[in-house]
Amino acid sequence: MEAAEIDAYLESMRQTRLADRQRQMAQLAQLDRQLSNADLVDSERAQLSAERDAVQSLLDTLAELEASAGEDPAAEQAARREVAAAFIRHWKRHRALYRQYGGWLVHQQTGPEPLDAYRQFLEAQQDKGNFRILDEDLARNFWRYYRDDGIHVFYPPDGEAAERAFETPPW
């Protein structure tokens, strides 16, 4: 793991946080403008007020988190770097598996997951005797994740999005 990759990841996350905050502030301003309309009926005003409260609450929480982060900047920076390194390793592992085995990708919160590649890798390790699950119920539940297509959201079957998924690091 290179320090430059971690720095790039952290900068990308900082830019994302700034953009998100700007979007939330713009949404708050829009809601305030809508709420200033004297022609709103009570139900509309209540809905807009609830939306405004939710956005304001989010902004307040983010501000509190940022303020508490300044209490121990060295620890905060170390923690951020550790999370960044873990995310980068995770993405690189997925990329390597996909390059070796190919197959279907599924959408996950942390990005594309090479579902077929993981299954093929684990099956190969099982065949070599490097991996096994002794309990049949646990094995059935474990393998279900890799074999039940109904529990995943796949990348489009045309392959273009999947092929590009690991071209460029997302940071």
pLDDT along the chain (171 residues), means of 10: 92 92 95 94 95 95 80 87 96 95 91 95 97 96 96 83 84 85
Instruction: Give the Cα separation of 159 and 171 in Å (integer).
Output: 22
Which contiguous run of DSSP H or E holds residue 54?
Answer: helix 42-69
**Has this prediction a pTM greater than 0.85?**
no
Residue 31's pLDDT is what?
A: 96
Residue 132's pLDDT is what?
A: 95
Instruction: Give the Cα separation of 21 and 35 in Å (integer).
Output: 21
